[in-house]
Amino acid sequence: AKQAGRNAFRFFTPAMNLQVRRRLELDSALRNAVTRGEFVLHYQPKVQLAGGHVVGFEALVRWNRPGHGLVPPNDFIPALEESGLITEVGRWVIAAACEQISDWSARGIDPGHVSVNVSPRQFVTGDLERDVLGALANHHTPLGALELELTESSLMTSTEATIATLTHLKDAGVQLSIDDFGTGYSSLAYLRRFPIDKLKIDRSFIREVARSSDGDAITLAILRLGHSLELEVVAEGVETAAQLQYLRRHECDQMQGYYFSPPLPVRETERLLLARPTL
Ligand code: C2E
Ligand code: CA
Ligand code: CA
Ligand code: CA
């Protein structure tokens, strides 16, 4: 065995090598994407149980990567989270949503509330409170229009700092919801400690609704829990009339999913809003 330590790369198979190279390319392309402004937001309507009116939207990021078309978030958010760039992109998402809300509102278009997704990393390393309050002030965003979708893992470490941040955001009129509820940490104690407004039932449970009794049971349990704590409950990933019927019967407050509409680019979102739709 000659010079074992000399060339560590000899342990990489060609396939691993390609994987590593691709990853390095992705990271560098993402760094450029931030400075070049290659991200865009699409908006998926949320529909109210009563009347089927559109009461808000979830803003979902896409990467308009040159030569690759529109890249979905699952293909790049994990890389952003690992490299820490998510803090910067997350800040852009918050600012872009606030700017869009204000732009619509200046033109007499009312989108209702607009929610943005917040990564756990933004909580820990970023300055979420400053980013949000700064964006609201910069863009003169109407009070109560912005909502943050937090994950259970963001709320796992229940420090005084977390409570203070959430309380300050709440005081500034920001609504708080817990995304993918039921898939994360199992302690429910934080629901009483934090000023939460809404629970979003994860798509994996909605998929089982009206199909298996276990799926029904979890969805039902979340609806009951949410309502007994006086929280609004939102279902994501609603795809069928049977699911809609079930959720109606059990008084789910808001629904979101391909059954109503996929996430839409800005122009199509405006067209939808101007038509004052019932979906
Ligand atoms: P999520 O927060 O759970 O968002 C819902 C995802 O489900 C979206 O995928 C949406 O397009 C998709 N969806 C909506 N209705 C249906 C349906 O009826 N059926 C099915 N099969 N899917 C449906 P998308 O836009 O690809 O986003 C994927 C994930 O990427 C999001 O999951 C979220 O975790 C993350 N993400 C998106 N935008 C951001 C962002 O700005 N910041 C952060 N940190 N994460 C984001
Ligand atoms: Ca979400
Ligand atoms: Ca979700
Ligand atoms: Ca989900």
Judged by DSSP in three states, 196 sits in coil
Predicted confidence at residue 184, as pLDDT, reads: 80
Assessment of whether the complete model's pTM goes beyond 0.90:
yes
pLDDT on residue 186: 61
* Residue 27 φ/ψ, nearest 5 degrees: -60, -40
Measured in Å, residue 165 CA sits from the centre of ligand 4 at: 24
Q: What is the pLDDT of residue 123?
A: 82
**Residue 117 carries which side chain, given as an amino acid letter?**
N
Q: Kindly state if the Cβ of 60 falls inside 6 Å of ligand 1.
A: yes
pLDDT at 62: 98
Q: What is the pLDDT of residue 229?
A: 94
Nearest in space to 180 (alpha carbons), one of 206, 161, 158 = 206
Atom of ligand 1 nearest to the CA of 73: 30
CA-closest residue to ligand 1 atom 11: 263
- How many other CB atoms are found less than 10 A from the CB of residue 57? 28
Query: Would you say 59 and 97 are in contact if contact means Cβ atoms under 8 Å apart?
Result: yes
What b/e sequence results for 138-177 when a residue is b if at least 16 CB atoms lie within 10 Å of its CB, and e otherwise? ebebbeebbbbbbbbebbeeeeeebeebbeebeebebbbb
Q: Which atom of ligand 1 is nearest to the CA of 238?
A: 18
Using the mean position of ligand 4's atoms as its centre, give its distance from the Cα of residue 65 in Å.
24
At 48, which helix (H) or strand (E)?
strand 39-48
103: which 2 tokens? 């732009």
Report the atom number in ligand 1 closest to the C-alpha of 118: 44
pLDDT of residue 2: 45
Residues flanking ion ligand 4, Cβ below 5 Å:
180, 202-203
Q: What is the pLDDT along the chain (279 residues), one digit of tens a residue?
A: 445 455 555 566 777 788 888 888 999 999 999 999 999 999 999 999 888 899 999 999 999 999 999 999 999 999 999 999 999 999 999 999 999 999 999 999 999 999 999 998 888 877 899 999 999 999 999 999 999 999 988 887 767 888 899 999 999 999 999 999 988 866 788 888 889 999 999 999 999 998 876 668 999 999 999 999 999 999 999 999 999 999 999 999 999 999 999 999 999 999 999 987 677
Q: How many CB atoms lie within 10 A of CB 65?
A: 18
Quick one: residue 233, left, alpha or beta (phi over 0 = left, psi -120 to 50 = alpha)? Answer: beta
The whole-number pLDDT of residue 1 equals 43
